[in-house]
Structure formats: structure tokens, C-alpha cells
Amino acid sequence: MRWFEKSVFYEVYMKSFCDGNADGFGDFIGLKERLPYLRELGVTGLWLTPFYPSMQVDNGYDVSDYMNVDPIYGTMADFRDFMTAAKQNGMAVIIDIVLNHTAINHSWFKAHPEYYVWKEAPNNWESFFGGSAFTYSAEQNAYYYHSFAKEQVDLNWTKPAVMQEAKQILQFWLEEGVAGFRFDVINNLTVDTTFPDNPFDELGEMIHKFDRNQPGVQAVIAELASFCRACKPDVFLVGEISSDDLNEIASYSRNDLLDVTFNFNFGSIEKLAVTKIFDELVRMEEVIPERLPTLFFGSHDMGRLMSRLANENRSVAKLLAFLMLTARGIPFIYNGEEVGMRNQVFGAIHELRDIQGMQAYHLALQDGASEQSALEVANQKTRDVGRGPMLFADGKSFSEGKPWILGRNETDLDKLEMFRYYKRLLEFRGQAGFQTEAYKKLVLEEDAIQYVRGRYLFVANFGETDFSIKKSGKLAFGEAMQSENYFIVSPFSGVVIELEA
């Protein structure tokens, strides 16, 4: 049993979590102040989004200096104070690490151009943010490769010096006391260096055949992983795999590679579909039976659970939390889910900060859309919908200043009631001791997902009618009517029954 197998992680979107100095940006002083809140909630692990000095073209995923703290978030001393307090509050901290690319203003770009990927002329590869993945540099009289924005320059992982630099960075943060890493787009590290053109699908969308998931990338990850484990044997390594193929995603979760990977087929579904959620739970068991899946319904890259999946129905949002925190796997709560935060809504383009949303807006205008409809497109496409300032259950505001990101987030909801539900669920999870139990049963009946782990039967009724189940046992969590030997589970409700031995 490794420590993280029992953990519940909480993703902190640094800029929007808590502002300690009233400049409108979340920071380490604010985060430290809110540790008691997180401890009360009952999470035991934190994932921090990038807080390194950055051009902020892609909100910190464009790193200018890997071994420092961006002044937006404070100083190294603030980071250390926070880490000390996190330990005192029983919180393991994993940090986001972006090894696919650096910001173009990183000192390496001038001092070590050989660390990057160059080409005399572009091929047809498109950046994941749209447009060519190659940009001309007059200084080098060549094109540099960037799989994301042109300010995010892809590193060349065929160079041993790049590996050496990365190891220094990882060691630096492990020595600062972090418990592990969330590796950003880690299967994108290598490309086919013969640069064949990528094919297109029938809809005209590029298939990223030669610019990610290339042979050799697992050897690179294995070297990084074994280095981390040599520094810190109980390190927790989480991978973001840029793929929607579960077999591909799962292939990176191995003893010599990463501990867990995010399955976006489960976490990022566009709308609620109980069969899809159930099928994905089953598939994760089939594909990686001996390893732990991750469980999440939100992150900084997608619409919020409450808006995208629950259609602002609080019962549905609670039921998704119930599933996420009781199914087999390591849950990752996204900050704000525990108070039922909804999507941020933007009334004007200047309120947005996300490059993806702004590009969608300008492309729509170029295509002849009105400003109003371009703004609608931006609201649909932007990842900022999930990045609004944190609303706290205890009424504390995110910042005394003007938030870095604007827009509206309706607050006519009972934050405290939702928070208490998460807290009770996490308490139950901590006490009942089923986290490491395999499924003895995993079925979908009518619209109720049911699973047995240890001595508990979990029933998640996603149906719009009552679901009755005949069992001998006693109610351990949630509310259900009991008559004779039947438990009657209300629509959109999750219960746990402790089965008779």
C-alpha cells in the first residue's frame, strides 16, 4: 500500500484560489491561510497549478524559470512557509511540471538554442491552439517548433542536456519537500524527427500522428520516473496524457513509468450520461485492473461539473461527488466543486484571460460573426469558465482587490450545504476503510450504478425515479427509505449500505 492510494487530492488553481495581498491574484500567503479550510474539508493532497516565473501567455504553462516562484504568487520564502504549514495540516503537495516546452523568454532559448526543435521549413503540423506549429526565428534563420502557443517552445528530448536540466529541476523541488509531480502533456515530449506531414480525419481535423505518443517517449518518461524514485522512493507521479484512447493513456501507468494517469473519457465528458460513466468505470477495470484509475469531473481545462454535467442541479452534483469519492481510484476534486461553483460567464471579451477563448473569439470575428456571437463562441470555447475566483463556504472572499479574471459566477447557492456534503462524504471515506478494496461487484441496473467494495454496497441512482434494492444490512451513508428488506433510493441520490456479514 502506497500512501497516495488512500489520498483525496484537491486541485488548486493558484491564480483564483486565495489572494493574500489584495492585488487580485491568488498567492502562497493566501493559500497558506486557507489550509485549515482544506483540512476541514478533509482532503489530504493538493495539486498546485504552475507557480513559476512565466510570461503568462498560457497562465503559467509557459515557464521562464523552473526553479523559482513567480512574484505574482510570492517568493521562495512564501512557498517554504506554505510547505511547512501544509505538512502541519497533514497535506501532501504535488506540483505541476511542464517539461514539453519552455516560455520563449527562458534563458535557454538564447543560450542553448540546441535544446529546442528546429526545422528549415514548416511541415503541415498544427499547434494544439490552432495555426502552424512552426514559427520563424530570424536569429537562427530557421523555424522553431511549438505544439502550443508560439511563445511555448518545444524542448528537444533527443538532447541529453535537456534530460540533465530536467533532472536538476525535479531534484530541486523534491528537496523542497514536494510529494510528487503532475506532468503536463507528458506523452508530447518527443516527435518524429523525420517530420512527416500529419493526416486529417474525415472532418478535416488534424490527427496528431507524428507529434505525440512517439516510440521512445516512454523511455524518456521511464528515465525521469526512475530518477524521481531514486531521489524519493515514495514519490507520487501523475501524468496528463494528451490522448482520448484509454489503452494509450493506460500504457503510461506502469511500475517503471507513472503511478496514475488522467482518463479524460471519464472526467471530461461533455454531458451527463450514466451509461457512459458506467462503461468507463468498467473499461478502467478491464484495461488497468492491477492499477488505480484517477477519478475527476473537473479541472482548470474544462467546464465545471455543476454546469457541464449537473445542469445546475445540486442533487446531481452531489451524486457525481459521491461516485468520484467512493468508486475505485484516486479522486481529484477541482477547487470550487465543494461549494457547487458554476461556470464563470463573461459579458465582454476583455474579461477573459485564456488564450484559447481569445483565439476562438478572434477567429469567429474573422469568419464574419458579430461581436455578440463571437463572445458566445468564446464563452463556449474558453477554459476560463472553470477558472473564476474561488467562492468559499465560510463566506471569505477570494480577494480584497479586483480579481485578475472578471465575469460572473452566480452566488445564490447554499455553499455551506454543499461543503458539508463533501465533508461528510470524506469523513465517511476516511473512517470506513474501503479505499483500497477492489470491486466485488460493479453493475448498472436501471439508472443506478452499484458496486460492492469490502463490506459496503454503494448505490448511485442517476435515474429520475426511485430505485429499490432488496438487501440485508444497515444504512451507512446517505438517505434512503427502508421498508421490509428494501432500501428505496431517491432520484439523483447516493447511499451506502453496510452489508450483513
The residues binding Ca ion (CB under 5 A) are 19, 21, 23, 25, 27, 100, 154, 188
Q: Which is nearer to Ca ion, 16 or 100 (by Cβ)? A: 100
Measured on CA atoms in the order 76, 80, 81, 85, is the torsion positive or negative?
Answer: positive
Q: Which of 111, 125, 218 is nearest to 161 (CA)?
A: 111
Which is catalytic among the residues 27, 70, 184, 211? 184
d(CA 22, CA 301): 26
Min CB(193)–Ca ion separation in Å = 11
Task: Classify each residue of 366-381 as buried b or exposed e, where b means 16 or more C-beta atoms within 10 Å of its C-beta.
Answer: eeeeeeeebbebbbeb
Q: Which is nearer to Ca ion, 303 or 403 (by Cβ)? A: 403
- What's phi and psi for 487, nearest 5 deg? -105, 130
Which is catalytic among the residues 27, 240, 351, 354? 240
Min CB(426)–Ca ion separation in Å = 28
Q: Which is nearer to Ca ion, 64 or 100 (by Cβ)? A: 100
Q: Which is nearer to Ca ion, 175 or 197 (by Cβ)? A: 197
Q: Which is nearer to Ca ion, 188 or 493 (by Cβ)? A: 188
Asked about 240 being catalytic, the answer comes back as yes
Q: Which of 463, 459, 461 is nearest to 476 (CA)?
A: 459
Please give the grid coordinates belonging to residue 268. Answer: 471530461
Beta sheet of 486-489, edge-to-edge order: 467-470, 486-489, 481-483
- DSSP H helices, 345-479, are 355-366, 371-381, 415-432
Q: Which is nearer to Ca ion, 35 or 277 (by Cβ)? A: 35
Min CB(147)–Ca ion separation in Å = 5
Min CB(194)–Ca ion separation in Å = 15
Min CB(101)–Ca ion separation in Å = 7
Q: Which residues contact 131 (CB under 8 A, 6 or more apart)?
A: none
Q: Which of 387, 294, 391 is nearest to 340 (CA)?
A: 391
Measured on CA atoms in the order 257, 262, 266, 270, is the torsion positive or negative?
Answer: negative
Q: Which of 322, 327, 338 is nearest to 478 (CA)?
A: 322
d(CA 330, CA 24): 32
d(CA 61, CA 152): 8
Q: Which of 148, 157, 111 is nearest to 127 (CA)?
A: 148
Asked about 23 being catalytic, the answer comes back as no
Min CB(220)–Ca ion separation in Å = 11
Min CB(199)–Ca ion separation in Å = 19
Q: Which of 86, 101, 70 is nearest to 10 (CA)?
A: 86
Q: Which single residue is written with the C-alpha cell 477573459?
A: 352
Q: How many CB atoms lie within 10 A of CB 143?
A: 19
Q: Which is nearer to Ca ion, 21 or 123 (by Cβ)? A: 21
d(CA 383, CA 308): 12
Q: Which is nearer to Ca ion, 23 or 437 (by Cβ)? A: 23
d(CA 232, CA 327): 29
Min CB(479)–Ca ion separation in Å = 41
- Catalytic positions are 184, 240
